Chains A and B, each alone.
Chain A
Amino acid sequence: MDNDDRRVRVTRRTVLESGTATAALMLTGFPEVALSAEPLSDKAVAPVAVDLQINGQSHTLHLDPRTTLLDALREHLALTGSKKGCDHGQCGACTVLLDGRRINSCLTLAVMHDGQSITTIEGLADGATLHPLQAAFIAHDGCQCGYCTSGQICSAAGMLGESRAGMPSYVTADLAEARPELTDAEIRERMSGNICRCAAYPNIVAAIREAAGTPT
């Protein structure tokens, strides 16, 4: 288990470092048009300054207003843990926490979040200590190809917060109940915005069930 944890950590850090280097090159060296499929005539938009608090760090970016929060994270900050699956809010791979609440980062513009606080998968662990959900996903093998995993984990983190705050779901029998019990049926319903094409759902539910019992 300890070895597994370390391996995951090292891999993530390696990816992050190389990602940062690539992004720096892109930001300074590549013509802007190469980053986008937009026609040139549509590029004449003045950049807008945006301050984002991401994983506790302040970042000032100058962005085309069209830049989604997901693209700001991935293309401008090299935080590639948040994935682009469908880019239309249907798959949940891009899920991040905005002021603690889970959202699809592909369906919102970065400029709309000036001054707000965003937590991505890169910000969930406490230094070398994995977030309980990350540890539980490893323990229960909650990933197969892994592409949806960061979205699943961020979504589950938001979901557990909602559940602890007493929010109901569509399958909650009594809506007036102050704190509905987090059964497997509740977990499945509450996680329906995260699609896993490998269908690792039983293990994802098991991981979340375990993490739900772990205080954070």
Chain B
Amino acid sequence: MKAFTYERAETITRAAAAAVKPGTKFIAGGTNLLDLMKLQVETPSQLVDINRLPLDKIEDTSDGGLRIGATVRNSDLAADPRVRRRYGVLSRALLSGASAQLRNKATTGGNLLQRTRCYYFYDVTKPCNKREPGSGCAALGGFNRIHAVLGTSELCIATHPSDMAVAMRALDANVETLDAEGKARSIPIADFHRFPARTPQIETMLKPGEIVTAVTLPPPPPGTQIYRKVRDRASYAFALVSVAAIVDAAGGRIRSARLAFGGLASKPWRVAQAEERLAGASADAEAFDGAANAVLDGARGYGHNDFKVPLARRTLRAVLTEATRA
């Protein structure tokens, strides 16, 4: 690990102001950041510890939703009775991620900001445009079984590894932030993560010093909530493909559907046309396939990950079958 100075933030505003200094990273759970620092993928010169800031509450909002503080632990969020009863897709997604020890540390904000698990991003002896812009991408012609099939660029095919963010995307969450000048803003989660394009090293809309303070959830939409995760082992593994679905159906007909996918892109993947096709459709294989076609429009594999395209199609069909079962 490279040397750094450590500072414990006393107020949110002070934390944001301190983080304007280049080389600064916030640390909360630290489960991803310290892992990367040990490998010298991350080499911050200053750590600002935000664990003692008052950002660890889950509160009801006036519109019937929830406001989740940035340092709420993944385990606490998954176990919250309101989340279990009304946002089951989020609870299940959180519980599918990592291990209990990691979930006891990992936070809401940190989960959103975690880095890709691309093997080459982790291996400092290999080229990686995300870790070292301009150095190339070893995944394109390398082992890319876990990599993206949608929204990629010729510079980067890494996926975002979060399960939580996929459920939040289906729930239309907003990410609340505070910048170094003390100005607050709310970023729809659809816009929070970026496509790699020409700058794969820039992964979110956050500006230097801007700190995530909370994630807000609107009231839950009607329907059955499902999080289905397909992975190499039954527990404690990242998704190859995951689906967060909220489907309102009765009598073999779908009233509305929301579908977000993990494991496919640099951000949770959601396609409005797929959901429009399902709204009002009868719950049958033709409709499910039509939705899958819309979701996977433009998808391409890079060799080892070609299987993800049919896997996503089949996982979606399984989820929609379950959600519309009478």
Contacts and interface: CB of A to CB of B under 8 A. Distances in A.
A145 B25 CA distance: 39
A167 B234 CA distance: 19
Contacts of B95: 168-170, 172
Nearest to B6: A65
B229 to A, nearest CB: 8
B30 A107 contact: yes
A192 B235 contact: yes
B30 A108 contact: yes
Contacts of B104: 98, 101-103, 158
A65 B47 CA distance: 10
Contacts of B102: 89, 104, 107, 193
Interface centre among B38, B92, B96, B100 (most CB of A within 10 A): B100
Interface centre among B79, B88, B101, B234 (most CB of A within 10 A): B101
Interface stretch (A39-47, A128-136, A196-204): A39-47
B79 A168 contact: yes
A95 B5 contact: no
Interface string B10-49: 0000000000000000010111001100100000000101
Nearest to B31: A107
A48 B38 contact: no
Contacts of A112: 27, 30, 49, 51
A179 B101 CA distance: 20
A158 B100 contact: yes
A165 to B, nearest CB: 8
A190 B99 CA distance: 8
Contact of B4 (A65, A168, A172): A65
B255 interface: no
B326 interface: no
Nearest to A190: B100
Given A108-B34, A166-B79, A45 B100 contact: no
A202 B276 CA distance: 48
Contacts of B35: 88-89, 107
A167 B3 CA distance: 38
B38 A87 contact: yes
A181 B3 CA distance: 47
B320 to A, nearest CB: 20
Interface centre among B30, B51, B104 (most CB of A within 10 A): B104
A104 B35 CA distance: 11
Contacts of A107: 30-31, 34-35, 102, 105
A51 B104 CA distance: 22
B97 to A, nearest CB: 9
A89 B4 CA distance: 21
A109 B101 contact: no
A175 B88 contact: yes
Closest 3 CB pairs of A and B: A193-B99, A192-B235, A65-B6
